[in-house]
Structure 1
Amino acid sequence: MLLRDSYAEINLGAIAHNIKLAQQLGNGEKIMAVVKANAYGHGLLEVLDTMIACGIDLFGVATLSEAIAIKQKYPQVDVMILGHTPDKYLNVVNERGIIQTIFSLKQAKVLNAFAVPTRVHIKIDSGFHRLGFAPKREAIGDIKAIEALPNVEVEGIFSHLALGERADDVAQYELFTKFLSELKAAGLTFKYRHICDSISYTRYPEYRMNMVRLGAWLFGMKSYDQSELDLIEALSLKSRISHISEVKAGEGVGYDYLFRAECDMRVATIPIGYADGYPRNMSNGGYVIIDGKPAAVTGVINMDQMMVSLLDHPNTKVGDPVTLYGAADGLPIGKIAEIAKTNKNEIMCRLTPRVARIYR
């Protein structure tokens, strides 16, 4: 139920379109839909029906709680935890039939103690230095020992690119594939091998192996080298004007009067703020869209409200719609990220629970 004028609008058709585009561009690689962080702010359980209808049956998350939420509603799909699960909670992973990332023999031995086998993917640190076995000789022995455990089913092996300089990505990929060759020489092969995420899926099609992990792609986010792709942004943030103030020249607006009017003007209040996930550093620098035109953020963004200039909007009135971001209205998430000096994923993920999601 929508109980306020500020809400996020999610275009499920856009998500379906983006999945189908990935399927068309691929060469039969299995797609893992990465839906961590509340499906990048879009609503975890609300988007899964669309993804499943598009043929997705493997989902990647960051935490055990995210995996449980999916398995409770969709027990038929596979869910893989891409991050670390503490040993003391691995029994829950096993009981729920969740696929777990592991990067130590110790983790595997904990899982092996359970009566029912647990599927795992082994993480290799090819240079990201976040999680994973270092691709060295001693790791081969540990991975052989993991493969030998009767109640641990090693389904896959993967790594993650830093996606900085191309030369660094090439070095990481070559280190990973070299280690895979060494593992193969030791008698170890894997059903799934993967290193590509949304960016590297198009940047390095030769790196796709037989599985890819797509997250931001599903929601229409493009990197600089994906500008020609027909991805559609699925998320818009919208509100309505709650009040209009008449501000005289020289008067201040908001906390600390960090904005002072240079002329007589009207200022609109919008009932949304940084507690909803709108970036506070858009203060006095960002803009919204009203009646198809930009309206500059005026003063400091508050916890629950913000103000914008109506200098270029003489006919705007209380109740008129506002787009805080939305590509269809000419303000893509990438532009917000640029002004806020962050990345697109953070803008999407920072939407808080009190922002209702409306699905179209």
Structure 2
Amino acid sequence: MRPARALIDLQALRHNYRLARRLGGGRALAVVKADAYGHGAVACARALEAEADGFAVAAIEEALELREAGITAPILLLEGFFEAAELELIDRHRLWTVVQAPWQVEAIARARLSAPLQVWVKLDSGMHRLGLSPAEFTGAWRRLRALPQVAGLVAMTHFARADELDSSRTAEQAAVFSDVLAGLDERPVASLCNSAAILGWPAVLPTPPADRDADAERSREEGGTSWARPGLMLYGANPFAGPHAGADLLRPVMTVESKLIAVRELAAGEPVGYGARYVTPMPMRIGVVAMGYADGYPQFAPDGTPVSIDGRPGRLAGRVSMDMLTVDLSGHPDATVGTPVQLWGDRVRADELARHCGTSAYELLCGLKRMPRGIRGA
């Protein structure tokens, strides 16, 4: 069997969720969209269900996969519903839904439901992707609040640049959100923070209502006083461009590893791989690893990209092929066929690899293909 595989550490996943919940200061929806960022949505949801406050997915297909697997916890549809007919499934499977456009408000008002819905109302505070404008938000909120089809409301927004710690945009968006909510007749349950905001922007975390406020009881009934939405950090990747003290507390959940399947003894001046991008500067040993871009490893990873060879630092030497890549075995005199190579995990962090390759940890994790997954820490 081809030795390339991905190992998923569910204990690390639980650790990262607990950290997100603690730093978020309230409740936390574990974001498991895109097959839990390539980690396996069902396995991750099962691992977290005993302690997670709920889950978030992109669309109803992902929610139904979790329900069919026996997940009974709350599941939020982050993109809401795409047509009014989906409300029947949302009702049947007791899903929570985002409302991000006026037509969705009217669709709920016309719906015949077996029980009222939990609705998250999204404000476009400046990302300009999905969400009600500040001018639309208050009217939509009040209309939804008055509907018998609605059990409870959460106000939410999404930050565009929370991973840029030197940008003022996150504080500006938080101020827009705060100003719009100040125009409501209540202090609503709020949800602002994705992974980068949880780790890097504690000042924008929602302030809970005081216990004496009439809204505090409603807040508790509708799911706590605030909700965080950790995604990337659940899987142990740093969302920032450089080191960060909070991100250093995360544990990588995915380890991608393979083995050497050949060792070449080359003279100085010999080309390695497609295009002769790498030429040996001296006599050296080159190892061939069963891993390539068809597995999800970046095709254009440059020479010198870090790997871990039998637990010690190594580096890429030559262009990545569809099924193989080549590494410099200088300093690894004992490396031979069958020697393990980690491509990313606890020794080479996914975000570190992404920086070398001009991509993101999101793309690496979500782009993993072909190789089997193994589970540990279940």
Tell me, yes or no, whether TM beats 0.5.
yes
1:127: which partner in 2?
126
Alignment of 1:228-307 (within 5 A): 228=246, 229-307=248-326
Q: Is the 8 A contact 1:268 1:307 kept in 2?
A: yes
1:38 pairs with 2:35: yes
Q: Secondary structure at the match of 2:168?
A: helix
Q: Secondary structure at the match of 2:75?
A: strand
1:59: which partner in 2?
55
* Deviating more after overlay: 161-170 vs 308-317: 161-170
Amino acid at match of 1:183: L
Measure, in 2, the Cα distance between the counterparts of 1:333 and 1:345.
9
Deviation per residue, 1:263-321 (Å, 9 max, x gap): 33222111111111111121424131113333321221111111112232222110011
1:356 pairs with 2:353: no
Q: Is the 8 A contact 1:269 1:305 kept in 2?
A: yes
Measure, in 1, the Cα distance between the counterparts of 2:228 and 2:283.
56
1:8: which partner in 2?
6
Alignment of 1:322-341 (within 5 A): 322-327=341-346, 329=347, 331-341=348-358
Q: Is the 8 A contact 1:105 1:146 kept in 2?
A: no
RMSD value over aligned CA atoms?
A: 2.2
1:70 pairs with 2:69: no
Q: 1:41 Cα deviation (Å)?
A: 1.9
Measure, in 2, the Cα distance between the counterparts of 1:118 and 1:358.
35
- Residues 249/8 of structure 1: CA separation in 2 closer, same or farther (3 Å cut): same
Measure, in 1, the Cα distance between the counterparts of 2:370 and 2:133.
38
Q: Is the 8 A contact 1:15 1:220 kept in 2?
A: yes
1:95: which partner in 2?
92
Measure, in 1, the Cα distance between the counterparts of 2:266 and 2:272.
8
Q: Secondary structure at the match of 1:179?
A: helix
- Residues 173/6 of structure 1: CA separation in 2 closer, same or farther (3 Å cut): same
* Deviating more after overlay: 233-242 vs 349-358: 349-358
Alignment of 1:145-224 (within 5 A): 145-162=143-160, 163=162, 164=164, 165-184=166-185, 190=188, 192-209=189-206, 210-222=226-238, 223=240, 224=242
- Return 5+ residue gaps in structure 2 as ranges: 207-225
Number of matched pairs: 349
Deviation per residue, 1:127-186 (Å, 9 max, x gap): 0111000111x44223333333332444211001222444221211111011011122xx
- Residues 304/90 of structure 1: CA separation in 2 closer, same or farther (3 Å cut): farther
Q: Secondary structure at the match of 2:48?
A: helix
Amino acid at match of 1:215: G
- Residues 247/358 of structure 1: CA separation in 2 closer, same or farther (3 Å cut): farther
Q: TM-score, normalised by structure 1?
A: 0.89
Measure, in 1, the Cα distance between the counterparts of 2:277 and 2:80.
44
Measure, in 1, the Cα distance between the counterparts of 2:49 and 2:6.
22
Identity %: 30
Measure, in 2, the Cα distance between the counterparts of 1:333 and 1:266.
26
Q: Secondary structure at the match of 1:177?
A: helix
Measure, in 1, the Cα distance between the counterparts of 2:252 and 2:199.
17
Q: TM-score, normalised by structure 2?
A: 0.85
Q: 1:75 Cα deviation (Å)?
A: 4.1
Q: Is the 8 A contact 1:32 1:213 kept in 2?
A: yes
